Chains A and B, each alone.
Chain A
Amino acid sequence: MVTIDLSQTEITDANNRIRDCGRDGQDVEIINPDARHNIGVGLVDPITVNVQGSAGYFCGGLSDGAHYEIEHNAGWAVGDNIYSGSVVVGGNAGAIAGVAIRGAEIVVRGNMGSRAGQVMKAGTLCCGGNAAFMAGYMMYGGRIIILGNGAAKVGQDMSAGEIFVGGKIESLGNDTIIVDMEAGERDEIMEFLERYKMSYKGDFTKVVSAGKKLRYANSEPRSRPQPFFVSSNSSNYWNPKVQEDIWIKGEVGRYRIRGYGASKPVPHLNDIAFVKDVTSRQYKSEELQDVNLKTTVGGRYGAKPLSLSMPVMIAPMSFGALSRSVKIALARASRLSGISENTGEGGMLDEQREEADQLIFQCLSGRLGWNVKDMQRADAIEIYISQGAKPGLGGQLMAKKVTPELAAIRGIPQGIDLRSPSRHPDVLGADDLVIKVEEFREATMHKVPLGIKMGAGRVNDDIKIAYKDGFDFVELDGLQGSTGAASTEVLENVGIPTLSAVQEAIDGLQEIDAGDDMDLVMMGGIKDGVDVVKMLALGADCTSVGTSAIIAGGCIACMQCHVGTCPVGIATQDKEHEARYDIDLQSQNMHRYFESLRWQIASITKALGYDDVHKVSRDDLVALTPEAADITGLPLLSEHPVLNRPELGLEVLDRKAG
């Protein structure tokens, strides 16, 4: 038994020692814990950690196989996301005890706070006392046993699993029902209680999902493929597209769902041009080799940054929205071009990990497929707050795509219309996020860069929070960002354009003198190397491409990604459809597309007179429209100080570029 005194040891050092003990198979006791956060986070060996006192937030979180005994109280999210192992809390537990567990046993001998077992997938959460409101909120599976009373909204919006309440239930949550216990269930509970030396003689009330809201009442009908340019058509008001939309709404009685992003025209990078006369510059094509495009992302706090061959990443897209084959092809193309791939929501595939040299692992609100082992083999971690296609909403995955294989990796019931939560269970504000960031750092030994993915809404405020909360990088997604499924109202009308987003981000960071240590990755409608250079000139450090990569890899932009029967095998989980996808061919197509970006970025950089793409600046840009000038603060073409004084000539700028 090794003793660690937290009054003498910083939590990071303590967790490193606990991990060492895990490797040696030695148990640990923690003295003077005094409710400190993140005790024992990220442990993947089956030792016992005895906390002699109270623990703070996330005790035992993101672990697999270990056993924790907390002699007194535990703070928020005790046992967060544990795969296997156990946590026993001698006293009370705060909110969201057992959040997102995938198989652990969590026992709270006293009372537990609100939203216990939120988005849990498997395992048992047991409470000797009373559970505060919304116990089992949005749970996907597993078992909650409450020996005392259950406060309001027991089982709110649960998809599956069972909740057994010994005492009174104040009220049931949405879409739940009380059913009789099945034969043997009581014996199983009693066996569990006996193992943890809890005595109980009374009866139980069993609460399960009523199952009325697991599917949309009316499925989104399969409409004719709607080419992007038709959907963007605004030439006449009541055009056939609008008519079809109204007819379908008359049929389904709700909002429409589709893939892709905003299809209406908004001010974008096309409304900006390079200010210099690039044709006057002569250079040999070999010289392009010497232009520095190398980009590192995420080195702010000393983690090993992503090292990209050019300022381009592949945007987060899930296995789920996309087929396994496409995720493999994307990973391969990313390796061939020396850029990074991103898991998106829904877990990491082994093949994807093997193919990609640099892989970002994304954590979403539903914690679908989220686990410590994949965190520790990721090259960067990204907390998803929202995305440009649907700021403020969770993902949607229609039942056709929720196959047994997909349900297994995500830990959810198969065949439901999956509507991911819009909020993280343990991040209800910037203050909670600080502690979450620390938990992720602890789970990855502070070695992995940590990013935040945000849809562009109130960027000026949000970017400051991201900076203060200690992220290494931000992936910021404008209105034009795409998705596999979202309501058209949100796709078209919520959020601000990518161009506004980058400007607000840069302004916001300047307002708090943030310097340039937090990397800004811009996405949402980046279609070529020209856009990449413009974005960097506006102030971004890197860009991210999703839709354009998919189009390079065979997508026909019919926008029916949500249906699940993608004709080219991309946005589908149907094996027959997926078989149409040629991984070798399409990964090469994507790779060549990425190489075209490289050539464009290098050529423009060189033509602007630089040997490094990170030297381009706002001075290289001019706004072509009043809207773009207004958004970015760039000079409008007709008012440009140099362009409108021909007597000065362009040499002025040339000298500046030096």
Chain B
Amino acid sequence: MCGIAGVLYKQAGDHEIGKTLIEMLDGCQHRGPDSTGFALYGEDKDQLQLRFIVPTETQARQKAVDNIASLLARHGATIESEQSVGCSYQIAVNFEGDLLRFTKDIEEHAKLVSVGHTLDIIKDDGTAHELDSTYQVGEVKGTHGIGHVRLATESAVRPEAAHPFWATGFEDIAIVHNGQITNYWKMRRRLERRGFTFHTDNDSELVAVYLADKLKQGETLDHVLETAIADLDGTFSFLVSTPNEIGYAKDNLAAKPMVLYETDDMIAIASEEVSLNRLFPGQSINSTEPAPGTFQTWSRSI
């Protein structure tokens, strides 16, 4: 139960994606006061960027960090740089190998929440502005990103249960979701049989894994979203982001709100128009509400 937001600037460049998403999420924070999260796409870095959720208490944190170091060593990955902030531990690593095997092993022993060369997922308990003051989200520049505010209904309030979710084993993919997947267990068992593991009981994680699985098979994002609408039961509006695209899918019952606004320069999508209007204060914008059971994707120029 949540609010979602996404923005993509069509031209390459250093756009204020952090500030933009903070504004949009602050606009719909009433939909989810428990936790907030961002998936931000900045410059393409040489090293693989990993972000973990670690305990905030010093001793436990050190233990978690040491554990991560030994995990990485096991896979021959070397740490180039590290940063510890809020509930997270972020590192840049040199890694060449099978990412799925690598992350699967790591995820069994540590709370890995973001994997990619351009993607960084920042999420924690608290509001958009609270996250900004801890993680300086507002300073992040890039081309696109998605964000989420969460009101926990069925799973616990913990940073790792916050959105966005990265798509396990598939770098630079993230999703945010508003709604409820009612065939969660059926779909989860189906994916578990295919070798995927789940780290929360959050149905949004399922959406991420589902999409990743399809993308891994080489399907286009458009096609993946189309099959998602057919395969997933329930009420949902979700956004997905890849290194160059964002897209949405909306369930057949149109039970979860979503509006979008597109200009020549950008596309912005949010649960409520009040979030879009934050980007254009004092103006009336020609937003549209996608029809039930539809999807669409947008790409940035490369």
* Cβ-defined contact, A431 with B254, below 8 A: no
Interface stretch of the complex, out of B55-63, B138-146, B152-160, B166-174? B152-160
* Cβ-defined contact, B151 with A430, below 8 A: yes
When distances are taken between beta carbons in the complex, the residues of chain B under 8 Å from A37 are 272, 274
Q: Mark A59-99, 1 if CB is under 8 A from B, else 0.
A: 00000000000011101100000000000000110110000
Contacting A113 at CB < 8 Å: which of B151, B154, B289?
B289
**A133 on the B face (CB < 8 A):** yes
* Cβ-defined contact, A34 with B255, below 8 A: no
**B88 on the A face (CB < 8 A):** no
* Cβ-defined contact, A34 with B282, below 8 A: yes
**B47 on the A face (CB < 8 A):** no
A75-B273, A468-B151 known; A114+B3 contact, CB < 8 A? no
160-186 of chain B: CB within 8 A of chain A: 178-180
* Cβ-defined contact, A434 with B284, below 8 A: no
Q: Mark B257-285, 1 if CB is under 8 A from A, else 0.
A: 10100000000000111101110011111
With CB as the reference atom, state the residue of chain A lying closest to B151: A430
Most buried by A among B31, B276, B278, B288: B31
Q: Mark A424-436, 1 if CB is under 8 A from B, else 0.
A: 0000111110110
* Cβ-defined contact, A71 with B284, below 8 A: yes
Q: How far is the CB of A37 from chain B (nearest CB, A)?
A: 7
* Cβ-defined contact, A56 with B179, below 8 A: no
* Cβ-defined contact, A431 with B288, below 8 A: no
**B292 on the A face (CB < 8 A):** yes
* Cβ-defined contact, A72 with B2, below 8 A: no
The answer for the CA separation of A469 and B286 in the assembled complex, in Å, is 31
**B235 on the A face (CB < 8 A):** yes
227-271 of chain B: CB within 8 A of chain A: 235, 254-257, 259, 271
Most buried by A among B34, B152, B282, B283: B282
562-591 of chain A: CB within 8 A of chain B: none
When distances are taken between beta carbons in the complex, the residues of chain B under 8 Å from A115 are 254
The answer for the CA separation of A546 and B157 in the assembled complex, in Å, is 36
Contacting B151 at CB < 8 Å: which of A57, A72, A428, A465?
A465
* Cβ-defined contact, A34 with B180, below 8 A: no
The answer for the CA separation of A95 and B254 in the assembled complex, in Å, is 9
**B33 on the A face (CB < 8 A):** yes
Contacting A461 at CB < 8 Å: which of B3, B154, B256?
B154
Q: How far is the CB of A522 from chain B (nearest CB, A)?
A: 22
Contacting A468 at CB < 8 Å: which of B2, B33, B254, B292?
B33
* Cβ-defined contact, A57 with B272, below 8 A: yes
* Cβ-defined contact, B277 with A431, below 8 A: no
* Cβ-defined contact, B291 with A132, below 8 A: yes
* Cβ-defined contact, B179 with A114, below 8 A: no
How many residues on chain A are close to B (CB under 8 Å)?
41
* Cβ-defined contact, B154 with A73, below 8 A: no
Q: How far is the CB of B208 from chain A (nearest CB, A)?
A: 20
Contacting B276 at CB < 8 Å: which of A35, A91, A151?
A35
* Total A-B Cβ pairs within 8 A: 108
**A292 on the B face (CB < 8 A):** no
How many of chain B's residues touch chain A, expressed as a range? Answer: 35 or more
When distances are taken between beta carbons in the complex, the residues of chain B under 8 Å from A113 are 254, 289
* Cβ-defined contact, B273 with A434, below 8 A: no
A72-B284, A431-B1, A465-B153 known; A132+B292 contact, CB < 8 A? yes
128-154 of chain B: CB within 8 A of chain A: 151-154
**B30 on the A face (CB < 8 A):** yes
**B70 on the A face (CB < 8 A):** no
Q: How far is the CB of B256 from chain A (nearest CB, A)?
A: 7
1-60 of chain A: CB within 8 A of chain B: 7, 31-32, 34-37, 53-54, 56-57
With CB as the reference atom, state the residue of chain A lying closest to B283: A53
**B287 on the A face (CB < 8 A):** yes
**B32 on the A face (CB < 8 A):** yes
With CB as the reference atom, state the residue of chain A lying closest to B282: A32
The answer for the CA separation of A164 and B213 in the assembled complex, in Å, is 46
When distances are taken between beta carbons in the complex, the residues of chain A under 8 Å from B33 are 468
With CB as the reference atom, state the residue of chain B lying closest to A438: B30
117-172 of chain A: CB within 8 A of chain B: 132-133, 151
**A512 on the B face (CB < 8 A):** yes
Q: How far is the CB of B166 from chain A (nearest CB, A)?
A: 23
When distances are taken between beta carbons in the complex, the residues of chain B under 8 Å from A446 are none
The answer for the CA separation of A36 and B151 in the assembled complex, in Å, is 20
Q: Mark B1-36, 1 if CB is under 8 A from A, else 0.
A: 111000000000000000000000000001111100
The answer for the CA separation of A288 and B179 in the assembled complex, in Å, is 53
The answer for the CA separation of A75 and B31 in the assembled complex, in Å, is 15
* Cβ-defined contact, B277 with A94, below 8 A: no
**A464 on the B face (CB < 8 A):** yes
* Cβ-defined contact, A73 with B284, below 8 A: yes
A34-B278, A75-B272, A468-B151 known; A429+B284 contact, CB < 8 A? no
A56-B272, A431-B178, A434-B30 known; A34+B277 contact, CB < 8 A? yes
When distances are taken between beta carbons in the complex, the residues of chain B under 8 Å from A431 are 1-3, 31-32, 151, 178, 271
When distances are taken between beta carbons in the complex, the residues of chain A under 8 Å from B1 are 429-431, 465
A431-B151, A461-B153 known; A133+B272 contact, CB < 8 A? no
Contacting B274 at CB < 8 Å: which of A36, A114, A151, A438?
A36
* Cβ-defined contact, A91 with B153, below 8 A: no
With CB as the reference atom, state the residue of chain B lying closest to A423: B255
When distances are taken between beta carbons in the complex, the residues of chain A under 8 Å from B153 are 429-430, 461, 464-465
When distances are taken between beta carbons in the complex, the residues of chain B under 8 Å from A464 are 152-153
The answer for the CA separation of A108 and B248 in the assembled complex, in Å, is 26
* Cβ-defined contact, B257 with A94, below 8 A: yes
Q: How far is the CB of B126 from chain A (nearest CB, A)?
A: 14
* Cβ-defined contact, B179 with A429, below 8 A: yes
When distances are taken between beta carbons in the complex, the residues of chain B under 8 Å from A435 are 30-31
With CB as the reference atom, state the residue of chain A lying closest to B274: A35
Q: How far is the CB of A55 from chain B (nearest CB, A)?
A: 9
Q: Mark A394-430, 1 if CB is under 8 A from B, else 0.
A: 0000000000000000000000000000000000111
The answer for the CA separation of A289 and B208 in the assembled complex, in Å, is 63
The answer for the CA separation of A601 and B145 in the assembled complex, in Å, is 59
* Cβ-defined contact, A428 with B273, below 8 A: no
With CB as the reference atom, state the residue of chain A lying closest to B150: A431
* Cβ-defined contact, B255 with A428, below 8 A: yes
The answer for the CA separation of A53 and B282 in the assembled complex, in Å, is 8
When distances are taken between beta carbons in the complex, the residues of chain A under 8 Å from B286 are 91
Q: Mark A507-536, 1 if CB is under 8 A from B, else 0.
A: 000001000000000000000000000000
* Cβ-defined contact, B284 with A32, below 8 A: no
The answer for the CA separation of A133 and B5 in the assembled complex, in Å, is 24
When distances are taken between beta carbons in the complex, the residues of chain B under 8 Å from A91 are 284, 286
Q: How far is the CB of B184 from chain A (nearest CB, A)?
A: 14
* Cβ-defined contact, A429 with B256, below 8 A: yes
Contacting B284 at CB < 8 Å: which of A54, A75, A133, A430?
A54
Q: How far is the CB of B284 from chain A (nearest CB, A)?
A: 4
Q: How far is the CB of A449 from chain B (nearest CB, A)?
A: 20
164-215 of chain B: CB within 8 A of chain A: 178-180
Sample of 16 further A-B pairs with CB below 8 A, known A75-B273, A461-B154, A468-B151? A7-B282, A35-B276, A37-B272, A53-B282, A54-B284, A57-B272, A91-B284, A92-B289, A95-B257, A115-B254, A133-B292, A151-B291, A428-B256, A431-B2, A431-B32, A461-B153
Identify the B interface with A (CB < 8 A): 1-3, 30-34, 151-154, 157, 178-180, 235, 254-257, 259, 271-274, 276-278, 281-289, 291-292
19 contacts between A and B (CB under 8 A): A34-B277, A35-B274, A35-B276, A37-B272, A56-B274, A75-B274, A91-B284, A91-B286, A94-B257, A94-B289, A133-B291, A133-B292, A428-B255, A430-B1, A430-B151, A431-B31, A431-B271, A464-B153, A465-B151
Across the A-B interface, the 10 shortest Cβ-Cβ residue pairs? A72-B284, A35-B273, A430-B1, A431-B31, A34-B277, A35-B274, A35-B277, A114-B254, A431-B1, A428-B255
